Chain A
């Protein structure tokens, strides 16, 4: 008996050790960014580098908020945050709405040309962004679309195939008995889709939504191109990339790190809010057997 208890304790200890290792691995470079963002230019140049901001002479803990002040007083950055939020949110919603409807057809309905459709959708995302850029720019120009909607539309090039494919695989994995019983109850295919299947794929919707949101939040090249004539529409990555040092042409590392921290925190909060939706066992109990 005692032995068994000991094994349990060791198992638990090893598990927590694993969790801690994973935690440090995932977070450390971000911690380093926070650490660097609280250092002054002189502190950044200190050798050896310190784990917390320290005064170069007295070696006491001496963080500074000057980088954060500089970033927040930069209205291009603040406007970038708002633009990024709008663009990423609308991109995600559009991709999820359009993509999951297609995914339902591709995952659960039988029709001619299914394989072709799947490959065609995937093929859209197989070109490097640089190559597509000039053609896409011509289309957007020709249609006279403004910067923000043009970003949303062009981001569909990578978010739509992604959401469609991931949701298709999830729809496929849902048991067919669900559909049959709905049908027996007299539900139309569309009712089956949004009343039964959609709630069941909530974890998948949240997952793909988060990943698409982050992809849109990160996108740089399209944003740079489409906001070139409309600087007020610039998103955060573009704003950060255009940071320049005040004194020389040297890269303002402290400010970039502060901006990185500010830009990442909303996403972490977002994940914290939504992670409950990625909840275990949603499908368990939905079907017997």
Chain B
């Protein structure tokens, strides 16, 4: 059984009834072993998830007795409709040329609101850009959600990348033999062990916009800023700040999973490499990294999944100012009681996450077979 079968499978065809009997038994065993997992998931996942799909096509209101109607793809249309329109230049009637702002010297264009469609739902301006001397505007029917998708994806990409690199570094240090390793391994998990909501509060306090906060206190001592820096309400630094908080919080997750993966690499391989005269860097790239790939891939998949669903820190630190996909979902469900719309958001998040997961498997060559 097991790999023996694999070896046999690789040979020229062998019609051995014994083998197929074994294969059948192996298959039966596999299904039996998977059964408990699927029973639990059926119990807690199939109905709730099915309901999310169904509700996303209705106009259901949360916690109310109002009648629900089937509305097809309307929720999705409302959330995802995007349009790009060209902005016509404002022509000066006297010269026949485009008007120019006398103060900034910039060319003037028609206001976006006059170009974007209003029916059946009003489009709002998302952003503008110039291409080949023409000016375009991107409009969306649900500006906040599109912005939330963008926020979440950039948050995910940057923070997961940083966490992986930092986590790998920390894991490599923890993997070497030194005194006090045990204590370091325990402290390594401290950030992950602090309850998320509470760690958001700790950071909120450290980031306080006056010198009662640690960062303003230290920045002032170092001569940076005036001691009244606003980290969380300033739109341009809010997201980077959030990424720093998240990286601190979840690097241990990556580091521990990578460390466990490192433990599975037999030491004998390194000894052999040393005998052959491979440098540590060479050893890292030709032994550690390839052998670490499976555990690294799984860690990456779960970390990315989690980052795409980020909720707590957006909710606590940025309140309703900047949304992540999940906190926008929460706002629509609890704040607006738009359950149908919230379900559609859930489905869209699911699809985005699924896309990421498949991409990872392909890119990292995780063989699921």
Q: Could you tell me if B40 and A110 are in contact, using CB atoms closer than 8 angstroms?
A: no
Binds A, one of B65-73, B121-129, B155-163, B326-334: B326-334
A115 at the interface (CB under 8 A from B): yes
Residue of A nearest to B170 (CB): A22
Q: Could you tell me if A264 and B193 are in contact, using CB atoms closer than 8 angstroms?
A: yes
Known: A165-B298, A179-B3, A207-B257. A135 touches B48 (CB 8 A): yes
Of A98, A132, A264, A279, the residue contacting B194 (CB under 8 A) is A264
Cβ contacts under 8 Å, A38 to chain B: none
Smallest CB separation, A96 vs chain B (Å): 12
Q: Could you tell me if A257 and B217 are in contact, using CB atoms closer than 8 angstroms?
A: no
Interface string of B188-215 (1 = CB under 8 A from A): 1111111111110111011000111110
Smallest CB separation, A105 vs chain B (Å): 4
Known: A207-B260, A240-B197. A131 touches B31 (CB 8 A): no
Smallest CB separation, B118 vs chain A (Å): 30
Cβ contacts under 8 Å, A102 to chain B: 33-34, 36-37
B353 at the interface (CB under 8 A from A): yes
In the bound complex, what is the Cα–Cα distance between A47 and B175 (angstroms)? 42
Q: Could you tell me if A48 and B217 are in contact, using CB atoms closer than 8 angstroms?
A: yes
Cβ contacts under 8 Å, B312 to chain A: 220
Residue of B nearest to A240 (CB): B198
Cβ contacts under 8 Å, B236 to chain A: none
Cβ contacts under 8 Å, A237 to chain B: 195-198
Residue of A nearest to B45 (CB): A124
Cβ contacts under 8 Å, A275 to chain B: 182, 185-186
Q: Could you tell me if A281 and B263 are in contact, using CB atoms closer than 8 angstroms?
A: yes
Interface string of A214-229 (1 = CB under 8 A from B): 1001101100000000
Residue of A nearest to B198 (CB): A260
In the bound complex, what is the Cα–Cα distance between A172 and B2 (angstroms)? 12
B221 at the interface (CB under 8 A from A): yes
Chain A stretch 57-114: residues in CB contact (< 8 A) with chain B: 98-99, 101-102, 104-106, 108-112, 114
Binds A, one of B87-95, B102-110, B135-143, B264-272: B264-272
Cβ contacts under 8 Å, B191 to chain A: 26, 29-30
Known: A29-B191, A126-B357, A153-B44. A98 touches B36 (CB 8 A): yes
Q: Could you tell me if B369 and A210 are in contact, using CB atoms closer than 8 angstroms?
A: no
In the bound complex, what is the Cα–Cα distance between A85 and B311 (angstroms)? 24
Q: Could you tell me if A26 and B193 are in contact, using CB atoms closer than 8 angstroms?
A: no
A244 at the interface (CB under 8 A from B): no
Smallest CB separation, B292 vs chain A (Å): 10
Residue of B nearest to A122 (CB): B357
Q: Could you tell me if B190 and A268 are in contact, using CB atoms closer than 8 angstroms?
A: yes
Q: Could you tell me if A29 and B206 are in contact, using CB atoms closer than 8 angstroms?
A: yes
Q: Could you tell me if A131 and B52 are in contact, using CB atoms closer than 8 angstroms?
A: yes
Cβ contacts under 8 Å, B176 to chain A: 15
Chain A stretch 265-289: residues in CB contact (< 8 A) with chain B: 267-268, 271-272, 275-276, 278-284, 287
In the bound complex, what is the Cα–Cα distance between A111 and B29 (angstroms)? 9
Q: Could you tell me if A271 and B186 are in contact, using CB atoms closer than 8 angstroms?
A: yes
Known: A109-B29, A153-B40, A156-B40. A263 touches B346 (CB 8 A): no
A33 at the interface (CB under 8 A from B): yes
Interface string of B302-339 (1 = CB under 8 A from A): 10010001011000000000000110011001100001
In the bound complex, what is the Cα–Cα distance between A221 and B221 (angstroms)? 40
Q: Could you tell me if A127 and B349 are in contact, using CB atoms closer than 8 angstroms?
A: yes
In the bound complex, what is the Cα–Cα distance between A211 and B190 (angstroms)? 12
Q: Could you tell me if B184 and A19 are in contact, using CB atoms closer than 8 angstroms?
A: yes
In the bound complex, what is the Cα–Cα distance between A128 and B346 (angstroms)? 6
Known: A98-B37, A130-B311. A114 touches B253 (CB 8 A): no
B41 at the interface (CB under 8 A from A): yes
Q: Could you tell me if A115 and B368 are in contact, using CB atoms closer than 8 angstroms?
A: yes
Residue of A nearest to B194 (CB): A264
Interface string of A177-204 (1 = CB under 8 A from B): 1011001000001100000000000011
A241 at the interface (CB under 8 A from B): yes
Q: Could you tell me if A176 and B2 are in contact, using CB atoms closer than 8 angstroms?
A: yes
Known: A98-B40, A268-B190. A126 touches B195 (CB 8 A): no
Cβ contacts under 8 Å, B20 to chain A: none
Q: Could you tell me if B37 and A217 are in contact, using CB atoms closer than 8 angstroms?
A: no
B278 at the interface (CB under 8 A from A): no
Known: A130-B326, A284-B266. A166 touches B36 (CB 8 A): no
Cβ contacts under 8 Å, B212 to chain A: 44-49
In the bound complex, what is the Cα–Cα distance between A91 and B206 (angstroms)? 33
Smallest CB separation, A94 vs chain B (Å): 8
In the bound complex, what is the Cα–Cα distance between A99 and B38 (angstroms)? 10
Residue of A nearest to B60 (CB): A134
Q: Could you tell me if A268 and B189 are in contact, using CB atoms closer than 8 angstroms?
A: yes
Interface string of B23-53 (1 = CB under 8 A from A): 1001101110110110011011101111110
Smallest CB separation, A157 vs chain B (Å): 6
Interface pairs (30), CB distance under 8 Å: A15-B173, A22-B170, A30-B190, A33-B194, A47-B212, A102-B34, A102-B36, A110-B26, A111-B27, A126-B354, A128-B309, A129-B309, A130-B330, A131-B52, A131-B346, A131-B349, A132-B45, A135-B47, A172-B294, A180-B4, A203-B264, A211-B192, A211-B256, A217-B193, A220-B312, A260-B194, A263-B195, A264-B194, A275-B182, A275-B186
Q: Which 7 A-B pairs have the closest CB atoms?
A: A135-B48, A131-B346, A176-B3, A111-B30, A267-B193, A105-B33, A47-B211
> Can you name 10 extra interface pairs (CB under 8 A) apart from A204-B260, A281-B263?
A29-B199, A47-B211, A49-B212, A49-B214, A110-B5, A119-B357, A174-B264, A237-B195, A271-B185, A287-B266
